[in-house]
Structure 1
């Protein structure tokens, strides 16, 4: 997804992540925009789930809003949130599962709101001839991959402990499936599409067993306290770009292709699997966040508690964006 297939294979592992539409518009007064903001660095991964940020950057939307924004591509996963903790970026986009694991060790992180959701971005691919009830081995990658695999197996009435889980990265999974080393895996494109091209098949998406993921915008509490209006102006632009992405996938696909050198057709297909739009956190988001924390604590990935009522800023989008979501 970046400068070559090889680099994409390294970087796409952490894409995750993942979106009910609630469009807003960046129309703050020109006098306010003209005041400037200083450099705002936004850390992102390198997959289509960051389409609104790629679009806003590619089309000069941040600049038009009087903002000096630098979009920083990372290897994804925890890297973006860790940049915020380290002070090497002011904001980051992270999947809910990743954000919570970093928040556990860094309780000063804050999630401002959601900019995308999906219950179909992650899909279950099985080897030809293997039925769900016959699964003996699943390839899994850490974090959300393990969590969704656990939910999927339980939805089949299977005890996850009865299935051999092989730690893999998403780029490895199609080849392992084709060789018969694993019976299936739960991942996202382009890896699922590659598995289908070599004889595998898709049997479910996360929505089929009641699972979904969201992408959040993160900031540190200290930076946000001193720059709340700037954060709102940046998020206003992301909201406008998210609405464009949802309404005009071809335009979004071009921005993705230009930003991470991804095939436009592949980008267009992937964008269709995600719902883009900025919104506040809901009770369901908080409940899902608590479930994730409980799961990762049980896996030894999180120690102690994560106060979701504190780190998820419920109502921040409505209170601070120029045009709050409906």
Structure 2
């Protein structure tokens, strides 16, 4: 079947989605059958280590992949960019990643394909400032993670009239941010949970905004590569159907999501329950409007030198790949 290409929903911020160290940790129980050609082994799906991946954890622990005839192993990565890189090297066949992170990787990995969105939010990614700094005007140094965090920070400063060039950007991992904030090495960061909650619990920072406050939203995409997708269309569609059902379970039963997430990545259950209230989980086809929204992300990356040329969004974003009921 020939698939047309398109892009996610409104605009963009996780995630990665996505957030610890680059070493790979398996966190699923392989089933007995496989519908994917992955060299005889399980179908490996890259995920992050936060509640944004709750549908994957629920599907894994509830045996939903196995019931769909899929031999799946979830593989944890610290950051979304690492998961995207793992696709290119064949370490994984499918990954969950924020739209912004995926776009930033198109220069290195032009064969990336975004199949559908599985979540969106304007509330899950938050702006945290150090105690004593109450607004964007007082910010001198911001901690950033390449991709979702970086562009969300840029949008925050822009919305408050602060030229990005006037603020020093310090790159670190998400896990480093609370310590940098506590030492005063940075004045703030824009990240997904659990890192805002960590600053609050440590008493070193406070949340001043969510990205939706300045009209910035993100999506998480299920992504793969063109060669794998061409050979495994049926498996790709089966994954989508499993995640659609798992997303419904997450929305209907946040405690189920919390239990599964704690077991998978040891996130406190109350953090996941809060996340479920802040994230809209559900499978959605990518649309032409999202291609238009993606262009603003491309423009940002071209401005800061991450992308030197215009990527082929029409080839990367698959239009109507997932259709519920089929």
TM-score normalized by the length of structure 1: 0.83
Extract structure 1 runs of 4+ deviating beyond 6 A: none
- 8 A contact 1:15–1:46 mirrored in 2: no
Q: Tell me how far apart the structure 2 counterparts of residues 68 and 167 of structure 1 sit (CA, whole Å).
A: 37
Partner SS for 1:104? coil
The structure 2 residue matched to 1:56, chosen from 59, 63, 70, is: 59
Cross-structure match for 1:99 = 102
1:251 to 256, 262, 279: 256
Give the CA deviation at 1:35. Answer: 8.6
Pairwise CA distance, 1:49: 1.0
Which aligned pairs between 1:295-306 and structure 2 lie closer than 5 A?
295-306=300-311
**CA shift digits 1:61-97 (9 cap, x unpaired):** 0111122212122233222222222223221111111
Once residues 151 and 34 of structure 2 are traced to their aligned partners in structure 1, the CA distance between those partners, rounded to angstroms, is: 42
Counterparts of 1:235-274 in structure 2 under 5 Å? 235-274=240-279
Structure-2 residue corresponding to 1:116? 119
Q: Deviations over 1:144-188 (max 9, x none)?
A: 212111111110112111223233332232233333333222122
Which structure: greater helix fraction? 1
2:194 pairs with 1:196: no
Q: Which residue of 1 aligns with 2:139?
A: 135
Are residue 187 (structure 1) and residue 191 (structure 2) matched? yes
Corresponding residue for residue 145 of structure 1: 149
Instruction: Please tell me whether the aligned partners of residues 199 and 206 of structure 2 are also in contact (alpha carbons under 8 angstroms).
Output: yes
Structure 1: 5+ residue runs without aligned partners? 1-13, 19-33
- Paired residues of 1:104 and 1:305 also in contact (CA < 8 A): no
Which residue does 1:24 correspond to in 2?
A: none
Deviation (angstroms), 1:36:
5.1
Contact 2:16-2:96 at 8 Å conserved across structures: no
In structure 2, what is the equivalent of residue 276 of structure 1? 281
| Structure-2 residue corresponding to 1:16 | 16
- What value does the CA root-mean-square deviation take over the aligned residues? 2.1
* Secondary structure of the structure 1 residue equivalent to 2:242: helix
Task: Give the number of equivalent residue pairs.
Answer: 293
Which whole-Å CA distance do the structure 1 matches of 2:86 and 2:145 have between them? 22
- Distance across 1 between alignment mates of 2:86 and 2:168: 35
Q: Which runs of 5+ in 2 are unaligned?
A: 1-13, 19-31, 37-41
Question: Could you tell me the TM-score, scaled by structure 2's length?
Answer: 0.83
How far apart are the structure 1 equivalents of 2:66 and 2:296?
Answer: 39
How far apart are residue 250 of structure 1 and its match?
0.7
Distance in 2, Cα, partners of 1:299 & 1:211: 19
Cα offsets for 1:257-315 (capped at 9, x unmatched): 11112222222223332110000112332122211122112212223221111110011
